[in-house]
Amino acid sequence: MQGPDVSTSVEHFRLVLVIASATIVVYDYLLTVGLEIHHLWPKQGWNLIRMMFFVNRYLPFIDITWALWAEFVPSMTAQDCTLIDRLAGWSFCFSIALSEVILTMRTWSLWKTSRWSGTALVVFYLSCWTPIVVIFGTFLMKANIRSFQLQPYGGCMIIPENINLYLCWILVLVYDTGIMILMVLAVTKPYTPMLPKSGRSSTLLRTLYRDGITYYFALFVLSVMNIATIVVLPGDLVNLFTVLQRAIHSTLTSRVILHLREQAEHNMLFDPLAVK
C-alpha cells in the first residue's frame, strides 16, 4: 500500500503545481492588464518587441491549458497524450526561448546597443539554445508518453528513455547567469561612462536592474529545482516543475516590458525595449 500512496501523493503534487502555474498566469494578467491596455492597445505601428510581447503574453493561456488538459482528462488515449504533450512541450520550449530573447535585448540596451555587444549576445544565445533545442527534441521524441487513471481524474505521464533533459536546464542556468553578469557589468564601474547621465535615465536603468535581479533570482531557483528533480527523483517526474518555470518566465518577461514602457513614458524618454 505504501507504493501506491506515495505515487498518488506525487501525482496530486504535480496537479497542484500545474494549477498553481495557471493561477499565477491569470492572476498576474489581471494585475497588469491595465498597463497593457494603456500602453499597448492603442493603434500603433507593429515592431519586433511589440509582436514578441503579445506572443509571450498570450501563448501561456494556450499551452498551460494543454498541460491542464493532459493532467485532468481521464479519457485520454496514449496517442492523445503523445500529441498533447509534444505540442505543449514544444510550446514551452519556444516560449522560454522567446522570453530569453527579450531578456537578451534588454541587456543589449544597457550596453547602448553597440554592434560588437549585439554580435556577442547572438553568439552566446545560439551556443546555449541550439543544443537545448536538440537535446529537448531528442528527449521528447524518444519519451514514452502514457495515459493514467487517478480517481476521480486521470491524464498523461512521460516515461523518459534517458534523463539528459537536465542538460537543458543547466544550459538555461548558464545563459541566465551570463546575461546577469553582463547586466551587472553594464551598470557598475568602470562601465558607467557607457550609460546615460540624466537623472531620468538613471531611473529607467534602475527599473531595468531591479527587474533583472528579480528575473534572474526566480529563474535561478527554478532551474536548480528542475535539475535536482531530474537527477535525484524517478524518471517520470522530470517535468514536475516545467510548467511552473514556464509560467514564471512569461509573467516576469511581460512585466519587464510593461515596466519599461511605463517608466519610459513617465520620464518622456525613448528606450529601445519600451514597446511603442
Give the domain range for residue 233.
Answer: 2-267
pLDDT confidence of residue 267: 58
pLDDT confidence of residue 240: 76
189: cell is: 564601474
Rounded to a whole number, what is the distance in angstroms from the first to the last CA of the chain? 60
Q: What one-character-per-residue DSSP string does 22-66 give? A: HHHHHHHHHHHHHHHHHHHSSS----HHHHHHHHHHHHHHHHHHH
pLDDT, tens digit only, all 276 positions of the chain = 334 444 555 666 677 788 888 899 999 999 999 988 888 887 667 778 788 889 989 998 888 888 787 777 766 777 877 888 888 888 888 988 988 898 888 778 777 667 788 888 999 999 999 999 999 988 888 877 776 665 555 667 777 666 688 899 899 989 988 888 887 777 665 444 444 444 445 565 666 666 667 777 888 888 888 888 888 877 667 777 888 888 888 888 888 778 777 776 665 544 444 444
Between the CA of residue 73 and those of 20, 76, 120, 156, what are the distances in Å? 18, 6, 46, 8
| CATH at residue 42 | 1.20.1070
pLDDT confidence of residue 192: 47
Separation of alpha carbons 179 and 212, rounded Å: 9
**Does a structural domain hold residue 274?**
no
Separation of alpha carbons 162 and 68, rounded Å: 25
Separation of alpha carbons 133 and 128, rounded Å: 9
In angstroms, what is the C-alpha Rg of the chain?
20
Separation of alpha carbons 39 and 275, rounded Å: 8
Query: Up-side HSE of residue 134: CA atoms within 13 Å toward CB?
Result: 7
**Does a structural domain hold residue 121?**
yes
**Does a structural domain hold residue 275?**
no
Q: List helix spans (H) across 154-240.
A: 165-186, 199-232
pLDDT confidence of residue 3: 43
For β-strands 153-159 and 144-150, DSSP reports them as antiparallel
Q: How many domains does the chain have?
A: 1
pLDDT confidence of residue 124: 94
Give me the phi and psi of 156, to 5 degrees please.
Answer: -120, 150
pLDDT confidence of residue 182: 82
**Does a structural domain hold residue 140?**
yes
**Does a structural domain hold residue 236?**
yes
Q: What is the amino acid identity at position 261?
A: R
